[in-house]
Amino acid sequence: MGIAGPSGGSATTLAREAAARVRVEELESQIAELTARLEAERETWSRLRETVAEVVAEMSSSDWASVAEQPVKPTAGDQPVRVVGAIMVPHGREGLSVDVLPDVYRDIVEVVADASDPMQAKQIVPRIGLPAVTAKIEGTRGKLKQLVERGWLREDQPGLFALAHRTAEAKA
């Protein structure tokens, strides 16, 4: 048994209390440090998200339609890797086949070509096999705008898309 201290506890109890207090102070210090690091990382993440948004906006107005992963065959001893590449939407012109388009763009053009009237993005989305949720509608609207820029579709009225010219398949 230890000697009783001023609070009536033993020396062993006081030592354990002091050790616990030191551990608590160390943890509080670590929490403060981690909180500061977390805030710094949140700021970095926010800046990166803004940069990505700017890059995507620039890509949508450039020749690049979308980004897709393309598998690359590994060489001996290499681990399989994936390379990010870009899929181009070529300029449309009279008689050019929709087969030159990436799959989702081809599907969009074919749905619009089959329609008797101009269509909205929200009408196209379910016809290309996507759920009619805001994110998919907005993504499709971006693709529609890209197809307008490339001459495949036209937008005579805001949000209404129609075929810009008859493709070889649409004439048949």
Q: Is the pLDDT of residue 67 over 50?
A: no
Q: What is the pLDDT of residue 64?
A: 44
Q: What is the pLDDT of residue 3?
A: 52
Q: For all residues of the chain together, what is the average pLDDT?
A: 78
Task: Look at residues 157, 67, 170, 171 and name the one whose alpha carbon lies nearest to residue 111.
Answer: 170
Place of tokens 């096999």: 129
What is the reported pTM?
A: 0.48
Q: Is the pLDDT of residue 30 over 50?
A: yes
Q: Is the pLDDT of residue 41 over 50?
A: yes
Angle value at C-alpha 169, between 166 and 170, nearest 5 degrees? 40
- Dihedral sign computed on CA atoms, order 38, 57, 152, 85: negative
The pLDDT of 21-38, averaged and rounded, is: 87
3-state secondary structure of 66: strand
Contacts of 134 (CB under 8 A, 6+ apart): none
Q: Is the pLDDT of residue 32 over 60?
A: yes
The pLDDT of 90-96, averaged and rounded, is: 79
Q: Is the pLDDT of residue 168 over 90?
A: no
The pLDDT of 119-130, averaged and rounded, is: 94
